[in-house]
Amino acid sequence: MPSQARIWRRRALIVVLRVGRLVRTGVDRIFPGIRYLLHSLQRRWRRSLQFRTVLTTLLLSISSFAIVGAYLSNQIANNLFQERLTQAESETRYNVKQVQDTFDGAQVTDQSSVITLVYDTLNAVEGRGSVIQRRYVFEAMPEQTKPRNRWVESRASDQLTISVIPPDLRKAVQDSGKEQFWASTEFPVGTEDRPGIAVGNKVTFNGTVYELYLIYDLNTAQQTLNEIQNVLWAGGAALILMIGAIAWYVTRNVVSPVSHAAVVSEKLAAGQLQERMVVKGEDEVARLGASFNHMAASLQEQITQLATLSQMQQRFVSDVSHELRTPLTTVRMAAEVLYDARDDFDPINKRSAELLYNQVERFQSLLADLLEISRFDAGVAMLDAEATDIVQLISHVMEGAAPVAEEYGSKMVLNAPPEGSVVVEMDSRRIDRILRNLILNALEHGEGRPVNISVASNADAVAVTVRDHGIGMSPAEAARVFDRFWRADPARARTTGGSGLGLSIATEDTKLHNGWLQAWGNTGVGSNFRLTLPLKQGGTITKSPLPLEPTDVGLGAPGDHSVLVLGPGATAVPAVPEPASPEPASPVPGSPSVGKEAERAAGAGPGKPEPARTGERS
């Protein structure tokens, strides 16, 4: 026996585990479906005005119908109950009076006559026939002090008992005199319980006090109420479906033109300028469609004109640039011959030969920039990316700019990561051009002060900042510094710098790399240019590793960076610079400071004021 018990327990445990596994599998399969359904509904709710309108209308209709239906059902039920209660109280008073009159006039002395009289009287109250109108419970009151001839203890119709009478009703009847009381109750009829109203009174017979309860069946009223509620539910469901259909039809007529307009506008935004809305009728939607089509036609005409004008301008620049190359080459060769023979000329002709040679060189640089810009405008500029160490590229650019730094009396300081290399997938020729432009601009406008070049990287991008401490820029100038041929002071003739297209070309080169090129400046404090590139070709940038607005002008704490210093009196060897003096370079509140070492490097002493200039960046 113990072994059989263990076997049955093991079998029960196996069954429980299998059932649990099945339940878990079902839940795992049902929950994804429920989540998918909820997500689909949320997406549909956000993206479809018609679905949102119809669903909102249905929900409001259901809520309104539920409130109105509950109110109507409650009112109907109360009215039916009050009507039946009034009828029951009236009939009970009449029948109790009849019973009491019969008992008072009875002349019976033996027990069988008493039982027969009580039975016949209560059966008359019951009103038997095809349908029993009311039922009764006849019970002698307990603890009577002087009962006399109590030959009938209790009696009830249809095998009812005194237990169907609520205790509160019995207590009220027992404690009262001749008052009448009622209470709702349930009583069994066959195999079901029916609702009813029990109305109680006191009657006396042969000196004995009895409790007489007449029970009225409310089953007919309940059936009537159920039928009314069924009609309300069916009518409400049909009404809600009709409201939903009407809302869908109305919103479809209103939303469809809007949806069509949205589709057409998306196609227009994608460049399909020939798309138009279908206009039907003369209502507000039709007028909207006509206005939309008129707007689209006007935009198409203007965009076409602008595109044609832009193409003409681009073609003109490209054609002129190409046509100028041949005569410019001839002029340059003649200028070189004159420049080489300038020592044989008189001072005036010698100076003219030098000016001619320099301006031809500048003209050739401008022509090269115009050709590069025309390639960008024509969309033929291609990216030749390969993995390159950007730190090594920056060092190469700094070495090439060393003569310019020597000329301006500025030091170039490279703050690189401690590991000394950052490999980036990039077009080294274009990045070299960007960095060369930024560094030469910083040297030209740095007022002889040091130029800080910083490099940092994160998981997605690398950033290079070029920080000078010269004349600086205002925020409005920094916002326009990348525009073509823009100058901070338009009234001043261009005597220094390049063609005015350098930063524009740098911007286009940066866009080819899917990178950022940004500028910050503060008048009298300096400026900071930040180039941010993705480490991988085609990658995206979420955050630049270096801030655009510099926090200081120092070089950082010793050991934080690998530092390379180039400039007057400096060699390209690693070094840890001395921290900058806290003396400010200009009285701009909240601006970074430049120490006296930078002033001496710029050639300005304490007693030698520096001339103020407004710079331009090419």
Q: DSSP letters of 523-549?
A: TTTEEEEEEEEESSTT---SS-SS-SS
**Is it the case that residue 602 has pLDDT exceeding 70?**
no
Give residue 115's pLDDT band: very low, low, confident or very high (50, 70, 90): confident
C-alpha–C-alpha distance, residues 597 and 161, integer Å: 115
pLDDT of residue 16: 84
Most confident of 14-18, 85-89, 575-579: 85-89
Average pLDDT over residues 34-56: 83
Order across the sheet with 461-468: list the strands: 516-522, 526-534, 461-468, 451-457, 412-416, 562-566
Are the CB atoms for 138 and 153 separated by under 8 Å? no
| Distance, C-alpha 280 to centroid of its chain | 37
Distance of CA 91 to CAs 78, 126, 210, Å?
20, 11, 19
Bridge partners of 461, per DSSP, are 534
Q: Residue 575 has what pLDDT?
A: 36
In this structure, of 145-154, 159-168, 355-364, 503-512, the range with the lowest mean pLDDT score is 145-154
Sole residue written with tokens 């006090």: 209
Query: Does the structure show a pLDDT above 90 at 199?
Result: yes
pLDDT exceeds cutoff 80 at 196 = yes
Residue 22 reports pLDDT greater than 60? yes
Q: Please give the average per-residue pLDDT across 237-256, as a whole number.
A: 88
DSSP alpha helix (H) spans, 192-345: 219-269, 284-340
What is the pTM for the complete model shown? 0.47
* pLDDT surpasses 70 at 561: no
Residue 455's pLDDT band, with cuts at 50, 70 and 90, is: very high
Which among 331, 334, 266 is positioned nearest to 296, based on CA atoms? 266
| Token pair recorded at residue 585 | 């370079």
pLDDT value for 511: 87
The answer to whether 447 and 486 have CB atoms below 8 angstroms apart is no
Least confident of 86-90, 269-273, 310-314: 310-314
